[in-house]
Amino acid sequence: MKKNMGNIDKLARIIVAIIIGVLYYTGQISGTIAIILLIVGAIFTITSIVGVCPLYSIFGISTTKNDKNIN
């Protein structure tokens, strides 16, 4: 698959995933909402590592730098 996530997008997702993990670890979130947020954090982490967001692909979004469009 073609990469469609830029470095800033990847960093933002990793930071959100870390914040979710810290909130869970410290007991600030619990129950069903904690499970949902942990799943979201895991998805953010995986997509950041791979560099591909399936939703971006569906909607034709790309946050990567494209040298072809620079004049």
User: Where in the chain are the domains?
Assistant: 1-53
Total-model pTM: 0.84
Q: How many CA atoms lie within 13 A of 10 on its CB side?
A: 13
Q: What is the pLDDT of residue 70?
A: 43
Class of residue 68 by CB neighbours under 10 A (exposed 0-12, middle 13-18, buried 19+): exposed
Mean pLDDT throughout 49-55?
A: 93
pLDDT at 69 over 50: no
